Amino acid sequence: MTILSELQPLFHPLFNKHKVQVEIKRDDIIHTIISGNKWRKLKFNLQHVKQAQKFNGVLSFGGCYSNHIHALAFACCEQNIPCVGIIRGEVAYADNFTLSWAKHWGMKLHFVDRKTYRRRHDNDYLKELQQQFPHYFIVPEGGTNKLAITGVSEIITELTTQTEFDTLITPVGSGGTIAGLIVGDALNNATHKILGIAVLKNAKYLENEIKHLLPTAVKTHNNWQLLTEFHRGGYAKFSPNDIARIVEFNQVTGVEFEPVYSGKMILAFLDLLEQGYFRNGERIVLLHTGGMQGLGGMIERGILNAEDWPMPERVASSE
């Protein structure tokens, strides 16, 4: 079996203090552009589009700094598949870090207001889009659907050949990644604990969203837990102290984490260690879900200091 992403040991003084063994699944470097869970989610979606031979392209949804839009644009470019992005926001954002790359790779951007964007799950609106873009395969916001769950489930298959572990920790946005991990654990007849760290506020509702994504045969699989108290104020929100802790962790471990997804997982993990959440000798794997392109937009807007983070390469000129 081909191992798609590297697993490496992670070292930090707190790990020794609390007597835990930590490894990190480097899905952030699974591909130079389409990293992390976006690679996993798009894999079988784009396979389906190519194999079906009945689609004119792919259409999906995202915000102006969306990791999904960025990854989808490149993936479609690489496979010569036309793509359309329905973007929440103003046309003025078209030349920002993320969308300038999406345009560079050939994605056609269609900007909509928040009211319209909220209809992205409505059948009536999807039918309108299907009429506007005939025979385009519609991928939900963030890439999560049944095909994406299958792709993410392969992480567990890989891990079972790479290491022995007790707990796998992942950041959680929409719930697709953790659902895929739960499915993967069930398919491999494994008994790992899957621990999700919600990155948005008031995320208790995600428990039902995650259960809804699970196949019937897996709905009773109860090896997972979603922790909702580590959001740091809400989606894409963090304090100067949060940033300082992530930067320090990056420097100590030699692995870069961004503050929206993977960084919140790290902060939660460190807090849980100090709270005595894990038992002595527990073998823990952290899943790095990528999202590093998001640093470009945050540095561009002055939210992050360029001296503390690696600035992703910007497209030479917007189109």
Q: Provide the pLDDT confidence category of residue 319 given band limits of 50, 70 and 90.
A: very low
Q: Which of 59-68, 116-125, 176-185, 219-228 has the lowest mean pLDDT?
A: 219-228
Q: Which CATH class is domain 36-143?
A: alpha beta
Three-state DSSP state, 63: strand
Whole-number pLDDT of residue 63: 96
pLDDT tens-digit map of 10-52? 999 999 999 999 999 999 999 999 989 999 999 999 999 999 9
Q: For residue 300, what are its two tokens?
A: 């561009």
Residues in the chain: 319
Contact 198, 226 (CB under 8 A): yes
Name the residue among 22, 25, 293 with its Cα closest to residue 181: 25
**In the chain, where the domains are located:** 7-32+145-300, 36-143
CATH topology of domain 7-32+145-300: Rossmann fold (3.40.50)
Contact 196, 160 (CB under 8 A): no
* CA gyration radius, the chain: 19
206-213 helix and 176-187 helix, angle to the nearest 10 degrees? 50
CA 195 to chain centre: 15
Residue 261 CA to residue 269 CA, distance in Å, equals: 13
Query: In the sheet that 7-9 helps form, which strands lie side by side, from edge to edge?
Result: 7-9, 21-25, 283-287, 167-172, 193-198, 224-227
Q: Where are the beta strands (DSSP E) in 185-236?
A: 193-198, 224-227
Answer yes or no: same fold for 7-32+145-300 and 36-143. Answer: yes
Average pLDDT, the chain: 95
Does residue 176 register a pLDDT over 90? yes
Whole-number pLDDT of residue 318: 41
Q: Are strands 167-172 and 193-198 parallel, antiparallel or unpaired?
A: parallel
Q: Are strands 21-25 and 7-9 parallel, antiparallel or unpaired?
A: antiparallel
Whole-number pLDDT of residue 315: 80
Residue 231 CA to residue 173 CA, distance in Å, equals: 10
pLDDT tens-digit map of 50-95? 999 999 999 999 999 999 999 999 999 999 999 999 999 999 999 9
pTM beyond 0.85: the answer is yes
Query: For residue 157, with 0-12 CB atoms within 10 Å meaning exposed, 13-18 middle and 19 or more buried, which class applies?
Result: middle
What residues are paired with 169 via a beta bridge? 195, 286
Q: Are strands 283-287 and 167-172 parallel, antiparallel or unpaired?
A: parallel
